[in-house]
Amino acid sequence: MDLFKTLETDFPFDLPNRSDCTAKWLDDMRGYLITVPNGEMLYIEHFFDKKISDRTVEYFLENDIVDGRTAKWKEYSADTLSNIRFSNIKWKQDYIKLYGKVMPLPRLTSWYGDNEKTYTYSGIECIPNPWNKGLLYLKQKIEHCAGVTFNSVLLNWYRDGQDSMNWHADDEKELGRNPVIASANFGETRDFFVRRNDDPSLKIALPLKHGTLLIMRGELQHYWQHSVPKRLKVGGSRFNLTFRRIGVNQQGDTGELSASDEHLLSHVHS
Ligand SMILES: O=C(O)CCC(=O)C(=O)O
Extents of the domains making up the chain: 28-265
Asked if residue 110 has its Cβ within 6 Å of ligand 1, the reply is no
Asked if residue 154 has its Cβ within 6 Å of ligand 1, the reply is yes
**Inter-residue contact 25 to 6 (CB < 8 Å):** yes
**Inter-residue contact 137 to 268 (CB < 8 Å):** yes
Asked if residue 152 has its Cβ within 6 Å of ligand 1, the reply is no
pLDDT given at position 213: 98
Give me the tens of pLDDT residue by residue for the chain, a chain 270 residues long.
555 544 555 899 999 999 999 999 999 999 999 999 999 999 999 999 999 999 999 999 999 999 998 999 999 999 999 999 999 999 999 998 888 899 999 999 999 999 887 888 778 888 999 999 999 999 999 999 999 999 999 999 999 999 999 999 999 999 999 999 999 999 999 999 999 999 999 999 999 999 999 999 999 999 999 999 999 999 999 999 999 999 875 444 556 655 443 333 333 222
Topology, domain 28-265: Jelly Rolls (2.60.120)
**Pick from 124, 64, 117, 54: nearest CA to 93:** 124
Q: Please give the model's pTM, rounded to 2 decimal places.
A: 0.90
pLDDT given at position 256: 67
pLDDT given at position 99: 87
Q: For 108-153, what is each residue's pLDDT tens digit?
A: 999 999 988 788 877 888 899 999 999 999 999 999 999 999 999 9
pLDDT given at position 8: 52
pLDDT given at position 252: 46
**Pick from 155, 222, 159, 210: nearest CA to 182:** 155
- Collect all residues with Cβ–Cβ distance below 8 Å to 155 and sequence separation of at least 6: 60, 89, 91, 109, 110, 111, 112, 239, 240, 241
Q: What amino acid occupies position 262? A: E
List the residue whose alpha carbon is closest to atom 8 of ligand 1: 242
Asked if residue 156 has its Cβ within 6 Å of ligand 1, the reply is yes
Asked if residue 165 has its Cβ within 6 Å of ligand 1, the reply is yes
pLDDT given at position 254: 56
Distance 192 CA to ligand 1 centre (A): 8
pLDDT given at position 262: 39
